[in-house]
A = this chain, B = another copy of it.
Amino acid sequence: MRPSKRQPDEMRAISFERGVSKHAEGSCLVKFGDTHVLCTASLEERVPGWMRNTGKGWVTAEYGMLPRATGDRMRREAAAGKQGGRTQEIQRLIGRSLRSVVDMAALGEVQITVDCDVIQADGGTRTAAITGGFVALHQCLSWMEARKMISVNKVLKDHVAAISCGIYEGQPVIDLDYLEDSAAQTDANFVMTGKGGIVEIQGTAEGAPFSEEEFSALMGLAKTGIARLVSLQQMAIG
């Protein structure tokens, strides 16, 4: 029995609120249950130095957590003077995931920065960030299309979304909340496209090692879940 009474293959309530930011070209407040991530996509003319004069653009991501997004207050990274290893790992993952569905030549020489800030955390912040970050990115591209800068359909090759799965009390389950995440034997994050292609897999044995069969069960759950996330994204995008 899961603490939240959910079925093993049941995700939390998922919602996307587009256009929540007065300033950003694209934005989305994504909720996976009590995990709330505010994603903004900011268009900038400047690309990183190593991309200049290539005619290609770039998509990058940054990730942060408000200090009291979690059960105990965590030290503010700006006050600590650096981003921790976990933060860097997650923002690199978000950036890679979003770039996997973008045609950089079609985007042209601009940079889009997707900021994913966790307002409230209850497990699965990185998968929510990827999934909501895509919606913010899409809105930013639509903003550009409206200004005749690009064609969304040429820049975006597919949807991308992500979900965590894990083995909790011996049972493969999807979309772990914090209680499950802390107690799971195995924890895996999957990033997949709308067509079902795999973009990124990260599986970790928290306790005992896991078997290939267990891993396949998690991947099975993920495929179904991500398909559903993609259709929710489609509805949000309208």
Contacts and interface: CB of A to CB of B under 8 A. Distances in A.
Interface string A1-44: 00000000000000000000111100100000010001010101
Contacts of A200: 203-205
B68 A23 contact: yes
Interface string A58-101: 00001010111111010011111111111111011000100010
A152 interface: no
Closest 7 CB pairs of A and B: A197-B209, A85-B88, A77-B78, A42-B73, A40-B68, A201-B203, A78-B78
Interface residues of A, number: 65
Interface in A157-204: 158, 188, 192-193, 195-204
Contacts of A96: 204
B82 A78 contact: yes
Nearest to A200: B204
A69 B20 CA distance: 11
A89 B89 contact: yes
Contact of A89 (B27, B62, B85, B203): B85
Contacts of A195: 209
